[in-house]
Structures are given as structure tokens and as C-alpha cells.
């Protein structure tokens, strides 16, 4: 094997490694773009009465990446309360394991159909809001 053949072989190997590296970088870039798009999806919050079909949908929406308990409580705090209610709203569902599982499921989901956090409420809980 002469020098030119050896240099050509090394250049070919370097070219193959470079092409493979470029492919991996492109694949990683596309994966990051897809994840960014998923995290920026808009998610709505819905309070739904368990006894009838009454629903309250706050005007504010949140991005999937920002779905946290604190953010949700802030959004729920923007719903106008009846004048007779003093203090903060009370929703028992916010203190359940199912609520935490729903938040986790919503954060992890890459399904466009899963774009709503449904918070079940009793009629008494719905009545505290002035909507």
C-alpha cells in the first residue's frame, strides 16, 4: 500500500465519520425542535361540575411546560368570586393524588388531544365562583 492509498483510506474514514456525526447532529436538532413545539402547546384548564354540565373555563391559558400546581392556582385565582365568599377558593380535588397524576400526565403527554386539564368540582365548589 503506497502513501497515496493510505492517505485516501484515512480521508474516506474521516469523511464517513463526519457524515455520521452530521446526521446525528441533525437528528438531535429535529428532536429538540419537536420537544420545544410540544412544550409550547397551549393547554386549557376546565372546572367541571360532577353533578351537572356546568363548566368554568378561565380566560387565561397556559403552555404545557408551565403546568405546575402554583401556576394552576394562580389561574384559578383569576376567576371572579362571589361577593359573599371571603378568602380564597376551595377545591378539594387540588389536594388529591389524582390531581398530581393529571398534571404529570399533561406535562409528559405528546398527544395533541391531551390539551385540557379537567378539574372535577362539586356543585358547592362551582357556586363559589361568580360566572
Give me the long-range contacts of 51-57 (CB less than 8 A, separation at least 24).
51/122, 51/123, 52/123, 54/123, 54/126, 56/126, 56/129, 56/131
State residue 1's pLDDT score.
67
Asked whether residue 29 carries a pLDDT value surpassing 90, the answer given is yes
Among candidate residues 114, 119, 74, the one with its CA nearest the CA of residue 96: 119
HSE of 42, CA atoms in CB hemisphere, 13 A: 4
pTM: 0.74
Asked whether residue 112 carries a pLDDT value surpassing 70, the answer given is no
In this structure, are strands 116-121 and 42-49 parallel, antiparallel, or unpaired? parallel
| Residue 127 to residue 131: CA distance in whole angstroms | 9
Q: Where are the domains positioned within the chain?
A: 1-38, 40-127
Give me the long-range contacts of 98-105 (CB less than 8 A, separation at least 24).
99/69, 100/69, 103/67, 103/68, 103/69, 103/72
State residue 97's pLDDT score.
95
Over the stretch 33-88, which tens digit does the pLDDT of each residue have?
A: 999 998 888 888 999 999 988 999 888 888 988 988 899 999 998 899 988 888 88
Higher pLDDT, 107 or 32: 32
Over the stretch 3-24, which tens digit does the pLDDT of each residue have?
A: 878 888 999 999 999 999 999 9
Amino acid at each position: 500500500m503506497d502513501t497515496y492509498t493510505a492517505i485516501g483510506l484515512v480521508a474516506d474514514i474521516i469523511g464517513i465519520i463526519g457524515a455520521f456525526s452530521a446526521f446525528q447532529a441533525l437528528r438531535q436538532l429535529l428532536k429538540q425542535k419537536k420537544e420545544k413545539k410540544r412544550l409550547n402547546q397551549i393547554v386549557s384548564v376546565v372546572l367541571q361540575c360532577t353533578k351537572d354540565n356546568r363548566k368554568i373555563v378561565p380566560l387565561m391559558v397556559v403552555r404545557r411546560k408551565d403546568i405546575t400546581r402554583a401556576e394552576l392556582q394562580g389561574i384559578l385565582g383569576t376567576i371572579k368570586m362571589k361577593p359573599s365568599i371571603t378568602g380564597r377558593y376551595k377545591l378539594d380535588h387540588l389536594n388529591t393524588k389524582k390531581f398530581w397524576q393529571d398534571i404529570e400526565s399533561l406535562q409528559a403527554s405528546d398527544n395533541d388531544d391531551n390539551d385540557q386539564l379537567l378539574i372535577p368540582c362539586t356543585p358547592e365548589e362551582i357556586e363559589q365562583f361568580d360566572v
